[in-house]
Amino acid sequence: MSRAMPVFLTTKAASSAVDSCWKPNNLLAIEQDSLHIAVGDDEAENLRRIQKAGRQIDNLGITRVSIQGQGWDIERQWALSLGFSNTHTSNEVLWHEAEPEVAEQLKQMRDTAAWTRDLINLPPAEMYPQSLADKVIQKFQQLAAGHIDVTVIKGDELLEQGWHGIHTVGRASVHEPLMLVIDYNPTGDANAEVSTALIGKGITFDSGGYSLKSSEGMLSMKCDMGGAATVSGALALAVQRGLKKRVKLILCCAENLVDGSAFKLGDVITYKNGTTVEVVNTDAEGRLVLADGLLAAEEFGAKKIIDAATLTGAAQVAVGTEYNALLSVDEALAAETLQLAEQQREGLWRLPLATFHKENCPSAFADTANSRAQKGGGAGGASNAAGFLLRFAPRQGEGWLHFDLAGAYHGSANGMWATGATALGMRTIAASLMQ
């Protein structure tokens, strides 16, 4: 086995920690075959510095590190792990030996985040609706055998059962669209209440349909199933932490492609609850499949509903890629979730959502359109998309959270993240399941 590079924390600036050849603002210094990360008094900034130092360590070509010395709590170790993650998740971290229970928690988090990231990073030739379903089913068969029931509704079966949104979006692909439902029920009671329904947008590739994306805009669209991967990873992490509540995982999976059978602008979809939707943008397809997921969650009687999706560019414009966006009309639940995100050290910012947002995509031919016939859906695109979903949320949105995953994927590496998926949001959603 290859040697692990020791990594220490120091309260001294790099220039004084080693020798005067280092600039005082360096994050990282090298001393006698070990690495030293300088930290200060601002803990939020410390975590950013440690994560950025992790990226620098990866860029040095190091593949294995060992966390040693004083000052390493769980969040500082996790920050290093986030930075020291390459695109292929082949780097290895040896956790601090002082607290074995903390090391085990970190191992679970890193392994589950790596699995989540790998799902998103796989090329579209390998990641299509059925393969996504197979990989998620396999994961939960390993984690919770005896506590799961699996249902796959595929192809024209979707029409027969009323799931018109998923079928409409995915019918042009040779890979049939599907809804995957995993019922995780550790209670032993077949009639147990569904504590939470998790809904993930599983668009395994998004060409934009007839509202065709540019080549540059399409390049990263293997990541459009990031919502499905994130909620699956969150449930996997919660199961490993001993989740005792019943959860329904609902993945709405399709490829949004073009052929003679593809849905077109001006088409009208009639949903299971009778709501009619005019398609004014085939590239606003994520909300069309999530609507089915929300209706399924209502049928299951879920007390709390969380959906996650790489839904809008507007969310990225609003919060950047260091945060995810949260939208909800349930004030208490939203406040609780923002607090959980802060505890989990994940960036989450609330964007506006009110009842009137349901009316912000009007149609003369249906109850609503799926967007506005403007570039990017016009002003307030993230809120208007959530307003569309609010039409399908049970109880007028009580108990419902919508995560617009602005930080799920980076098309190129930066000072904090490697190229590709991040799994940002996984910890917060897992913590919510444990509440």
Say if residues 15 and 23 touch (Cβ distance below 8 Å). yes
Give the pLDDT band of residue 389 (cuts 50, 70, 90). Answer: very high
Q: Which of 48, 107, 135, 213 is catalytic?
A: 213
Q: Is the pLDDT of residue 77 over 70?
A: yes
Give the model confidence (pLDDT) of 308-348 as tens digits.
999 999 999 999 999 999 999 999 999 999 999 999 999 99
pLDDT of the residue at 371: 97
Q: What is the pLDDT of residue 15?
A: 52
Please tell me the distance from the alpha carbon of residue 339 to that of residue 59, in angstroms, as a whole number: 33
pLDDT of residue 79: 98
- Amino acid 281 reads N
Residue 64 bears catalytic tag: no
348-350: strand order across its sheet:
148-154, 178-184, 246-256, 194-206, 304-309, 400-404, 324-327, 348-350
Mean pLDDT value of segment 154-177: 98
Distance CA 159, CA 176 (A): 12
Task: Work out the pLDDT band at 18, boundaries 50, 70, 90.
Answer: very low
Contact 224, 201 (CB under 8 A): yes
pLDDT bin (cut points 50, 70, 90) of residue 13 is low
Residue that wins the pLDDT comparison between 11 and 425: 425
Question: Which residue intervals of the chain bear CATH 3.40.630.10?
Answer: 117-434
pLDDT at 19 over 60: no
pLDDT given at position 308: 98
pLDDT tens digit string along 244-287? 999 999 999 999 999 999 999 999 999 999 999 999 999 999 99
129-144 and 226-240 helices, crossing angle to 10° = 10
Respond yes or no: is residue 222 known to be catalytic: no
Residue 32 above 90 pLDDT?
A: no
Q: What is the percentage of the chain residues whose pLDDT exceeds 90?
A: 92
Q: Which amino acid is at 230?
A: T
The CA distances from residue 6 to 23, 63, 64, 191, in Å, are 21, 12, 9, 52
**What whole-number percentage of the chain has pLDDT above 70?**
97
User: Which residue in 117, 139, 154, 287 is the catalytic one?
Assistant: 287
Chain mean pLDDT for the chain = 95
Contact between 119 and 135 under an 8 Å Cβ cutoff? The reply is yes
Q: What is the mean pLDDT of residues 376-405?
A: 96
| Amino acid symbol at 234 | A
Q: Is 370 left (phi over 0), alpha (psi -120 to 50) or beta?
A: alpha
Burial class for 233, CB neighbours closer than 10 Å (0-12, 13-18, 19+)? buried
CATH topology of domain 117-434: Aminopeptidase (3.40.630)
The pTM of this model reads: 0.96
